[in-house]
Amino acid sequence: MTDLQLYLLVAPFVVLAIALLAYWISGIYDDPRRHRHHPGE
């Protein structure tokens, strides 16, 4: 396996992990429980 193949194998998981981490962090700083919106409002 070449370095390029290894990179292409790992890159999607790295991007996904970073996206999930960013979403999780934004969820902490923007807690939906503090300002919950009821459906239909």
> Where are the domains positioned within the chain?
1-28
In 6-26, which positions are buried (b, 16+ CB within 10 angstroms) versus exposed (e)? eeeeeeeeeeeeeeeeeeeee
- The per-residue pLDDT for 6 is 96
CA atoms within 13 A on the CB side of 18: 6
Where do we find the tokens 């999780």?
A: 24
- The per-residue pLDDT for 13 is 98
Calpha distance 6→24 (Å, rounded): 27
The predicted-structure confidence for 1-41, as pLDDT tens digits, reads as follows 799 999 999 999 999 999 999 999 988 777 666 666 666 65
